[in-house]
Amino acid sequence: MDNKMNTPRFRNAIVRMPCKNMVNGITSANLGKPDYNLACRQHDKYIEALTSCGLHVDILDANEAYPDSTFIEDVALLTSECAVITNPGALSRKGEEKDVVRIIEKHYKHVEFIREPGTIEAGDIMMAGSHYYIGLSERTNKEGVRQMTETLRKYGMDASTVELREVLHLKTGVAYLEHNNMVTAGEFISHPVFQEFNLLKVGGNEAYAANCIWVNETVIVPSGYPQTKNMIASFGYRIIDVDLSEFQKLDGGASCLSLRF
């Protein structure tokens, strides 16, 4: 990123190919097993979308040892000042972060680590300028939040905590689109901490689309949610929609599939 105070400009993304073992990923969605081949095609389109926003995309090989490893967002927080490697809270995801360190070290001089007993998954962390909102969730514990906050402060950034009640990760239900605009769904619509933003409120029937991503003035949204798409477009953003049905079956959305920096 060029500038932490103003609108950022992302230049890079890292993604990880889905693995065949994704059919055994963690899920609460009740939408059936994902189709691996279709997931790979959807993932290719997702990469195309990132590329069309001007990003160079590093594509890591699939890792069959970790069914959820395509959701690479959870294993690192990449800021303008430093990278922080997380410690996932889900048992089957512990260790998933290890083989992304090498690629991150190519891009970052400062690489920090969250350590036991702290757990954190970066799907719980949302950047808004140099401030980071950190969800306290089933995956992210108080010690993880403490370590992350301390690390961010060390590099001149700051953080505050948001307690989650219903969703898996913070960014399952909220997305910052820069320019003070924030997409919110469910429990976050009336959350006091977000009332200073211009809230784009997503209805319950389209809640999955609240997990969308701002990439250099384009917003990548999951396809099939026309009200959310039109609402975001009406604010002047370019929109790309990508079918993410196979990732939705594993509770994953647009943010989870990449690290953007």
Interacting residue ranges for ligand CIR, rule: CB under 6 A: 25-27, 68, 71, 73-74, 90, 93, 123, 168-169, 171-172, 250-252, 255-256
- CA torsion sign for 185, 172, 249, 37 is positive
Q: Smallest distance, Å, CB 52 to ligand CIR? A: 22
Decide: 239 and 18 in contact? Cβ < 8 Å. Answer: no
Beta carbon nearer to ligand CIR, 189 or 244 = 244
- Nearest residue to ligand CIR by CB is 123
Q: Smallest distance, Å, CB 156 to ligand CIR? A: 25
Q: How far apart are CA 81 and CA 85, in angstroms?
A: 13
| Residue of 19, 53, 212, 256 with catalytic role | 256
Please, which residues have CB within 8 angstroms of residue 134's CB and are 6 or more apart in sequence? Answer: 120, 124, 125, 140, 145, 148, 149, 159, 160, 161, 162, 170
169 a catalytic residue? yes
Bridge pairing between strands 12-16 and 56-60: parallel
Beta carbon nearer to ligand CIR, 60 or 238 = 60
Q: If DSSP states are collapsed to H, E and C, what string results for 154-199?
A: HCCCEEEEEECCCCCCHHHCEEECCCCEEEEEHHHCCCHHHCCCEE
56 a catalytic residue? no
Q: What separation in angstroms does the CA of 54 have from each of 51, 57, 176?
A: 5, 9, 19
Q: Smallest distance, Å, CB 253 to ligand CIR? A: 6
Beta carbon nearer to ligand CIR, 74 or 241 = 74
Q: Smallest distance, Å, CB 234 to ligand CIR? A: 26
| Residue of 19, 169, 191, 212 with catalytic role | 169
Beta carbon nearer to ligand CIR, 159 or 254 = 254
Catalytic residues: 169, 256
